[in-house]
A and B are shown apart, each in its own frame.
Chain A
Amino acid sequence: MAHVQQTQSFYSLTLEAPSAPIAAVTCNAIPGLKSQDQQIFEARGQRLYLHRITENEDRTEVKVSTVLEQNVFGVIRGVTAFRIPGTATDQLVVASDSGRMAMFNYDADHNTLKQVHLETFGKSGIRRTVPGQYLVSDPRGRCLLLASTEKNKVVYMVNRQPDSSVRISSPHEANQWASLCFGVCALDTGWEHPVFAALEVDYAEADADSSGAEYERREKHLVYYTVDLGLNHVVKSWSDIVDYSANKVFAVPGGQDGPSGVVVCAEGRIYYCHDKSAPLSIPIPRRSGPTEDPQRTRIIVSGCLHLSKARHEFFFLLQTEDGDVFKLTLDIEEDAQGRKTSPPSGMNLKYYETFPVGKALLLIRKGYIFVAAEHGDSKLYHVNDLAEDLEFEPWNNFSSDSVSADPADPYTPTYFTPRGLVFTSLAVSRPSLHPLMKTKVENLTGEDAPQIYALQGTGNRSLFKTIRHGLEVSEIVSSPLGNIPFDNLWSLKHRASDEFHAYLLLSSTYGDKTIVLSIGDEVETMEESPFMTNRATVSAQTMGDATLVQVHARGVLSILESGALNEWPAPAHRTIVAASANKRQLLLGLSSSELAFFYMSEDGVLQQLEEMPEMSGKITAVGVAATPRGQKQAKFGVVGCDDCTIRVLSIDTDTPLEAKSVQALSDVPTSIEVVQMRDPQANTTIDYVHIGLASGLYLRATIDEVTGELGEVRTKFLGARPIRLFPVQVQSEQAVLACSSRSWLGYNHPQTSLYTLTPLVADQLEAARPFVSEHLRGMCAVQGQNLLIFSVEGVEGRLSSKAVPLQYTPRAMSRNPWYPLWYVVESEGNTLSRATKRQLIAAAKTKAEGQNGMKVETGEKNGVKTEAEDDAEAEELERHLGLSRAPGHWASCIQVIDPLATAAVSTIELTENEAALCTTVVAFESKEWEVYLAVGTGQHLKPGEPVTGDAPKGFVHIYRLSEEGRRMELTPFPTPIYALHPFVGRLAIGVGNELFIYDLGIKSLLRKTRGTVVPNLLTNITSQGHRLVCADVSESLTYVVYKPAPINRLLPFADDTVNRWTTALALLDYETCAAADKFGNLFVLRCPPQASSEADAPGLLPATAAAASSSSTSNRAGYLGGTAHRLDLRAHLATPDIATSLTRASLQPGGGDSLIVSSLHGTLSLLVPLPSRSDAEFFSQLESLLRLENPGVAGREHLGFRSAYVPVKGVVDGDLCEWFMGLKYDAKAKVAGELERESREVGRKISEARGRVAF
């Protein structure tokens, strides 16, 4: 096939995988663990995760650690886990958009998912009649069912073969024409035939009837599908009418454990249904309180079952859409054997807790509840009490007595008052970024790299986050060192075999002195120490068994264990400039370019090698490999000279100081460390040379064990200062800390096991060393004037963030051009505004006081105690419980956020049912470029409802940026305002399908010009010069040119040929735009050169001028109902996540610009322009070769996945290229062979492609 070369290709890279859970189940997939020790199998975006919960003995430290992360290159829709009788671990099943059922086993040896079965049952893609929307498995592990939203259901039976392989049957279909499936569950029938229950609606009659009467009579059925294992088929065995609003079903334990049957959850009510007993019903209690609508009903959104097989007891935890969790139990008579298997006589609910609304609620047998939160951080709660005591909070017990099970019968609603956590306590909160509403990339703090400012979350759990690439550092001690600047430090053990460090040497070249501290219970200055303190130390090390060696400029001091001192003076007129040592060998660099070598004999005395070879230039750094485990001496030392070279020398006592290899560098090496690190591929340790250069460049290379040649050189620019390197330990793994203008930690990432460099989020460090004492395990460092002892908490994540809580769902933000301040507009639909809420509470209080003057308990705000105390408490509780909902109401505010102080500086609440939708900071030319804040709002908006009657209106508010942020202007518009943009000293406003340019007058905004530019609704504007790019809600982008006075018109001149429901927009250059749509597509559009130059020519556009002369009054004279020209599509990529912000920026000093994409489910990704044609060819070739290696373990074809809506164009999937790193050795060699390259070289190119622009 001819390879068509694009003019520009992009390389797409994921920086942070999506954090939003799609589905999660508990499982026992890891072999050899107790059945209590359940794992969590979770799907997020296109990735599968297996998490483990680890805790220490007294459960004070709980961790959720990720064992496995696997990209399946497909949209995951559901997961389940089940145990086939007679097998040792659970089978994991994934439903995706592949039209296939993928079954996996966890392979502990290779830490991967091993595919057991991949069965095709339908077309690929997410379609109405292709199963995959619902996935359930039989509790006894005999079969599983996949269902689609309409018509199709497919059942697979699985069993274990005598050779312990898993056999799967051919698919059994249970299709029903014109039936919609609302929910599925697998009944627990004990060991009888498996039964699946489905909630179905048959629309055939409603569809055929033109009067609409049949539609009114529609019914929802609970249908049982029995899988007859003997006859090997699936039959519809029972069906009954249920409440029409039912949306979810849960299976009740059967067999010996319970009566079997299902719990059907409907709007406001929960039912128990089964073919063998009469139905039961219980209303879902509603929240009470003055700010709650007593008529509002809730639905159940998630739930889980707890079954104790030993005691034959069970209960459900069911969560409502408010986040309230209820414990559901059934009243069952015991039979003669003491089993509770007879039909239940009643249902009971008890209010348990309020958690964040979950996509999945998992009860883990170890005593935890995991909430895979729909929005915000997923949380693990420790269960202290399962609310078994009915005497506790008896007002929160509800029962089904005297409630009719007929959905048509009315019921008396029950009420409860939500409260804070009582039965559980928060154990772990997993940091997440979803839902990511907006991001901006700015450098407000003057750091090396810009920060990402993000709006995250919904409701009052929303956050304003400052995200940095870096590891969080927890500072343990920071103590001042005085006025002398110290530049290096060493932590030494007294004996080599000691566990803890005993001495800490701090050296100052400026003051030419060393201070010695002793490490014990406390770190104190040692007055009487054997070390030399009136000179700066060059290096210090514990050598041999217990000899302390201190190298200073004039000599080497060794302190034997007996206390005897040995001194080796430097040769006359020469000083020691660099030194490095391991347990036995010591290498010194002298000022005369000579190299001195010492070997420590068994008695702890240093023996000097007579020969002192001269190097080619002045020695600037030396490095000696650490003594390998089980050996006496290391093989190689590395010497760096100021002629920009490094030399590898043998330091073996047999061939001492024999030159092995030379490597030229781009600058003078300032620091060299040879560190043994684990090679993830071979699972052995190898020597790596880490080299820091004066230019701030960092290199890492391997040393060949035999020849001493350097290979596999990787480079990265770390900062503006010369680099100094320090070997450290992080989580008992070897790591390297590189100090430049930022400090970076180099380590093998625990999941990908790739070598990763991540900066530390801390001020600049001079030097750092490991620090292990009886109480602390971390690192010590010199930071400015302070001695810092700190630890790095975890190296799993690579981002750290600081958050400021917001009040409502954030919609947009804009920054102050002069100060590090952000203006965030927030609005929340169907929610009571703060003012209304206060009124209601005050009214309730006066009413209650007026009635009997008793102590009032009013739910969210209880009115005793002092007011300030009360307010703070109520606010905290409200944050936990969520906002009060009320249809038709809007709560909205504008907040000023100071990200440096991590606080909201000021808040303006909007009234009159307005919702702030967009904002921009604008400098008006007519006001001498004074800066104002413009906020676009909508009034009486109805989210998700068609506009009727009281049509929504819009306003633009103009605020003067002063201390109190006073509102100046309020200009009404006929429609809500979704887009605002500063435009050459004026304000561009999108009003419906029209674009307006406004100037600021004394009393209101003054209209300067207008033009109809898009077909439907303008949602986004960006501009450069007099060119504006406008995004329509559904019809892609339109390029508009503003012709200044005297023409003073807005003329659209180029638009797109396809519908694109644009969500985000960014200009890449004057002609090119990158944008994203609602279906997860990213695309780059470019204006044809002719159209571009025509638009910029003075006067009207040729097409418009022609139309004007032919007496048409419209300025939309164009071509085929659009503008005169069409945009070219340059690149297109489908992702499973919806991009909400696009920014062109450089994330790294020295790195080129790339397009930073942030998406709703918390993905941060990049589109990097590939710099050269050869790179573009290499990566697209690599991509097509890797596609053949079958990356989509869930069965989705990679090309199909990336071309879900439009064929992928001009974009190479970097995630797929990086998948190469995790391939097995022979697969790698095969791919590299096809590329006619070494597999190491391919690996280097892939990691460089990432390292060049991002982290």
Chain B
Amino acid sequence: MADKLRTQQQLESLQNKYIGTGHADTTKHEWLSNIARDSYSSYQGHPSLLSYMAIGMGKCEERVRAECMEKMVLPVGPKPEVEQG
């Protein structure tokens, strides 16, 4: 039992430290949001990828970066309603 508690605590500390560490009840929406946030962060972090997208979109890189940031707020829309009961 103590072992189980310890594992639980370790998992919690991991979840606190690293965003995106899953748990047994991770929903599809959580998982998707997480992946999408990672992706948007990666797009602006890799300079050549940001240029590639900016040229494709016909915008300047700073605007594309700001848009990527903004998409990170709620990348895949609000989470679905959970049915009570």
Contact = CB atoms under 8 A, between A and B. Distances in A.
Interface of A: 20, 22, 45, 75-77, 97, 126-129, 132-133, 148-151, 180, 182, 201, 203, 206-212, 215, 218, 245, 247-248, 299-302, 321, 357, 359, 374-375, 434-435, 437, 458, 809, 828-831, 943-944, 1078-1080, 1136-1138, 1159-1161
B45 A77 contact: yes
A212 B60 contact: no
A1080 B48 contact: yes
A218 B59 CA distance: 25
Given A128-B37, A212-B77, A299 B62 contact: yes
B85 interface: no
B52 interface: yes
Contact of A301 (B44, B45, B63, B72): B63
Contacts of B18: 129
Contacts of B40: 149
B33 to A, nearest CB: 7
B41 A128 contact: yes
A828 B57 CA distance: 9
B5 interface: no
Contacts of A321: 59-60, 62-63
Interface string B41-57: 11011111101111111
A78 B34 CA distance: 25
B72 to A, nearest CB: 5
Contact of A435 (B42, B46, B55): B55
Contacts of B80: 210
A45 B58 CA distance: 22
B44 to A, nearest CB: 7
Contacts of A1136: 46-48
Given A149-B45, A206-B74, A1136-B46, 13 more contacts: A126-B41, A128-B19, A149-B72, A247-B66, A247-B69, A248-B62, A299-B66, A321-B59, A374-B60, A434-B51, A437-B55, A943-B56, A1138-B52
A201 B42 CA distance: 18
List 4 A-B pairs, minimum CB-CB distance, nearest first.
A944-B57, A126-B45, A829-B58, A301-B62
Contacts of B55: 375, 435, 437, 458, 809, 1160
A603 B63 CA distance: 78
A883 B54 CA distance: 16
Contacts of B69: 149, 180, 182, 247
Contact of A1080 (B38, B46, B66, B78): B46
Contacts of A830: 58-59
Contact of B42 (A126, A215, A302, A374): A126
B3 interface: no
- Indicate the member of B49, B54, B64 with the most A CB atoms within 10 Å: B49
Contacts of B61: 301, 359, 374
Nearest to B68: A149
B82 interface: yes
A856 B45 CA distance: 47
A203 B73 contact: yes
A473 to B, nearest CB: 33
A477 to B, nearest CB: 44
A161 B25 CA distance: 52
Interface size class, chain B? 35 or more
B37 to A, nearest CB: 6
18 contacts: A20-B47, A75-B47, A97-B45, A128-B38, A128-B42, A133-B41, A133-B45, A148-B41, A149-B72, A206-B73, A218-B73, A321-B63, A357-B60, A830-B59, A1079-B46, A1080-B49, A1161-B47, A1161-B51
Given A77-B45, A128-B19, A149-B45, A435 B57 contact: no
A457 to B, nearest CB: 10
B74 A203 contact: yes
A205 B64 CA distance: 25
A247 B72 CA distance: 14
Contact of A207 (B49, B56, B79): B79
B48 A943 contact: no
Nearest to A808: B58
Given A150-B41, A207-B79, A321-B62, A1079 B57 contact: no
A100 to B, nearest CB: 15
A215 B74 contact: yes
Contacts of A133: 41, 44-45
Interface in B14-47: 18-20, 33, 37-38, 40-42, 44-47
A1080 B74 CA distance: 28
A126 B57 contact: no
Contacts of A20: 47-48, 51
A1078 B44 contact: no
Contacts of A434: 51
Contacts of A302: 62
B23 to A, nearest CB: 16
A149 B59 contact: no
A1079 B45 CA distance: 12
Given A128-B41, A180-B72, A215-B74, A150 B19 contact: yes
B4 to A, nearest CB: 26
A20 B46 CA distance: 13
A1079 B49 contact: yes
A245 B69 CA distance: 11
Given A247-B62, A321-B63, A210 B81 contact: yes
Contact of A943 (B37, B42, B57, B77): B57
Contacts of A208: 79
A1078 B51 CA distance: 11
A149 B48 contact: no
A412 to B, nearest CB: 24
Given A129-B18, A206-B73, A1136-B46, A299 B63 contact: yes
A127 B38 contact: yes
Given A248-B62, A435-B51, A180 B38 contact: no
Contacts of B82: 210
Contacts of A218: 73
Contact of B57 (A129, A299, A829, A1159): A829
Contact of A77 (B38, B47, B58, B64): B47
Contact of B49 (A45, A127, A1138): A1138
B60 A944 contact: no
Contact of B72 (A203, A828, A831): A203
Contacts of B38: 127-128
Nearest to B69: A182
B84 to A, nearest CB: 12
A76 to B, nearest CB: 8
B41 A1078 contact: no
Given A129-B19, A299-B66, A458-B55, A75 B74 contact: no
